[in-house]
Amino acid sequence: MCLAQQSGVKQRQEWLSSGNIVRGKIQVKENTLNTLLEGKHLLVNSVQEVMEPFEKGEVFEILVHDRKSVAVARSRISSTELGTLSQEDSRLLALSDEIILL
């Protein structure tokens, strides 16, 4: 039997950045990369387009305006729910410690 072990932020980030679990893809607004570089959370109002769908809890890829991949993150909501929200909605899409810059 394998017992679950506590994991810190570093282990979680290594797991997220492994790349074989990415399920979706979004493109973010131009100023969002600076926000991510500052270590802030990713908010719904930063999303410009959902390019590939994902479910709550799945890892998705974050692309900037030139479609360059800049990060991966674990989603707090599904892409379906994201599509129903207003561009002004400041709800949390991904926690800062669950965003890995590439």
Could you report the per-residue pLDDT of 40-90, keeping only the tens digit for each? Answer: 999 999 999 999 999 999 999 999 988 999 999 999 999 999 999 988 889
Could you tell me if residue 4 is inside a domain? no
Please give the pLDDT value at position 48: 95
- The number of domains in the chain is 1
Could you tell me if residue 66 is inside a domain? yes
Could you tell me if residue 42 is inside a domain? yes
Whether 97 shows a pLDDT value over 80: the answer reads yes
77 vs 12, residue with greater confidence: 77
Q: Residue 30: which pLDDT band, with cuts at 50, 70 and 90?
A: confident
64 vs 16, residue with greater confidence: 64
CATH of the domain at 44: 2.30.130.10
Could you tell me if residue 57 is inside a domain? yes
Could you tell me if residue 1 is inside a domain? no
Could you tell me if residue 84 is inside a domain? yes
Question: What domain range includes position 16?
Answer: 9-101
How far apart CA 83 and CA 71 sit, in angstroms, is: 20
pTM: 0.81
Please give the pLDDT value at position 21: 82
Please give the pLDDT value at position 2: 47
Q: Choose among 20, 15, 64, 62: nearest CA to 42.
A: 62
Please report, as a single letter, which amino acid is at residue 29. K
How far apart CA 61 and CA 72 sit, in angstroms, is: 4
